[in-house]
Chain A
Amino acid sequence: MIRIEGLSKTYLSRGQPIAALTDINFSVAKGEIFGVIGRSGAGKSTLIRTLNLLERPSQGRVLIEGRDLTVLPPRQLPALRQRLGMVFQHFNLLKSRTIAQNIAFPLKLAGVHSRQAIARRVDELLELVGLSDYRDSYPARLSGGQKQRVGIARALANSPSILLSDEATSALDPETTQSILKLLLDINRKLGLTIVLITHEMSVIRALCDQVAVIDQGRIVESGRVTDVFLHPSHPVTQSLLAEDGVDVSVSGLSALREQAQGPLLRLTFVGAATYEPVLSRATELTGLHFNILQGTIGKIKNTPYGQLLVELIGHQGDLRPVLRVFAQADVRYEVLA
């Protein structure tokens, strides 16, 4: 659906070239939600803007549905952009138009002139985002969350196959954020829409994304399935982003625990069905060992239940293999930390 190959972007600032993006590669499958996370200034905004050529990359290819945007004649660009909806952090609605007129705007740009066709589509979209009562209001009357709903409806007007979301929830309060995320997930499922979103919040990635790329100083430093990156982060930036989300997997956090612990330390990670198994008590039954849980999170990444526990083995002597075998059989991933 989307493939980015060897993409770089360099700016000239006072004659000096500044690399905003360096050698970016990734691909997004149809119907997938792909998240790019990074701190501000990491280049994620530039990255999402290259996907519809609001930023022209200095190098590399941007393939959307198999077509390379960077070699497309400029006249064909508007038509292609209509296949990609985009929502913005600050909504960017037209203040001088009503909600219905805002949503109708991209339809008119795409050459839909029949009043009935426009009205029908606008009504459909208003219903989809739950704003049918605000048809003739002006944006100034709406709350942030409602404005973003209009932004989403507008982005969907021409039935795009891809939705780009530029920090769509960053200007919203936590509760509104949840409802917007839910809406994005809904339309992803209902319409089979491919979504690429950028954010600086791990919680957004966890709630929504299938795949994630972590970007730092213009480079992708880590990427993969959200569950993998989330549970086994390898890059310090990923780890610190996770720490802000309440998951401390950093080495410094561990060393303190290591000093207090008397037995070996194990980190157990279970994803999916394994989460529902009483693995620890079974291990106790089979080996006679006891477990002291030092740290742990159990939750859901999108729809996948997961758990990660840091346990200290009590009463352990000698060989670890029998207990590790129990975990392996239960599909629990383990790491021996000390």
Chain B
Amino acid sequence: MIWTDIVWPEIGQATIDTLVMSASALVFTVLLGLPLGVLLFLSGKRQLLQQRALNAVLSLVVNFLRSVPFIILLIIMIPLTVWLIGTSIGVAGAIPPLVLAAAPFYARLVENVLREVDHGVVEACQAMGANTRQIILGALLPEALPGLLAAVTVTAIALVSYSAMAGAIGGGGLGDLAIRYGYQRFQPDVMVITVLLMVFLVQLLQIAGDRLVLHFTRH
């Protein structure tokens, strides 16, 4: 290990890349996963918009995307990614596969969180004459907010680790650095530093997420 050889500027850039990738993927993941999760929940058995066929199809799609290993998803997504944003490499090229992997994951978490909302509250809203939209926006989502935020935290952390994998196909970021320097150039010191940075990032996310959840929990 020759600690003097470490390319600090590259590490800095890779950290920024990881943050950009994860953060933008997270935004799209929530934008896509939240409605998907709500729909999964509402179309389920004995729920407000019970729709057996729709629920089965959504569930199948979600399960399919969640069962494909991310590294394979990265590869089979390449044509779609190119069509979407013109390239399949770099920070931008990593975002579509990240979203497609994380959105179904988040949707399932959302579905579970919504299931935890007391059905009596929904019933009370119906008794007050609320329509489905009012129940979702006025009761279900606000009641589930702490759980939804906790699910965002879990998803954000999953995205950080997925984004490292994106490095394998030239996605940039800390994972890419670890592979190029640590694996291909036999510089374990770089790998150690990138891993430490990832650990630090995950810790930070978890702490921030926990605080947010606590802030929105009404005791």
Contacts and interface: CB of A to CB of B under 8 A. Distances in A.
A273 B75 CA distance: 91
Given A94-B142, A97-B142, A140-B219, A106 B123 contact: no
B128 A92 contact: no
Contacts of A109: 125, 128-130, 134, 138
B89 interface: no
A78 B130 CA distance: 6
B127 A95 contact: no
A106 B129 contact: yes
Contact of B124 (A82, A86, A96, A141): A86
Interface residues of B, number: 21
B131 A78 contact: yes
A138 B120 contact: no
B218 A96 contact: yes
B129 A86 contact: no
B84 interface: no
Nearest to B145: A96
A96 B142 contact: yes
B121 A86 contact: no
Interface in A65-87: 77-82, 84, 86
Contact of A84 (B121, B127, B143, B219): B127
Interface in B118-160: 118, 120-121, 123-131, 134, 138-139, 142-143, 145
Contacts of A84: 127
A93 B139 CA distance: 10
Contact of A94 (B123, B143, B219): B143
Contacts of A77: 129
Contacts of B142: 94, 96-97
A205 to B, nearest CB: 23
Given A54-B123, A105-B138, A82 B129 contact: yes
B5 to A, nearest CB: 54
Most chain A beta-carbon neighbours within 10 Å: one of B123, B131, B218, B219: B218
Given A54-B123, A92-B120, A138-B219, A106 B143 contact: no
Identify whether the interface residues of A are mostly helix, strand, loop, or mixed: mixed
A139 B218 CA distance: 8
Contacts of A82: 128-129
B91 to A, nearest CB: 37
Nearest to B219: A140
B219 A81 contact: no
Contacts of A80: 129
A159 B14 CA distance: 62
A334 interface: no
A174 B143 CA distance: 30
Contacts of B134: 109
Contacts of B139: 94
B126 A54 contact: yes
A53 to B, nearest CB: 9
B143 to A, nearest CB: 5
A154 to B, nearest CB: 8
The 8 lowest CB-CB distance pairs between A and B, nearest first, are A78-B129, A92-B124, A81-B129, A138-B218, A92-B120, A86-B127, A106-B128, A96-B142
Interface of B: 118, 120-121, 123-131, 134, 138-139, 142-143, 145, 216, 218-219
Interface of A: 52, 54, 77-82, 84, 86, 88, 90, 92-97, 105-106, 108-110, 138-141, 154, 164
12 contacts: A54-B123, A54-B126, A79-B129, A81-B129, A82-B129, A86-B124, A88-B123, A88-B124, A95-B218, A96-B142, A96-B216, A109-B134
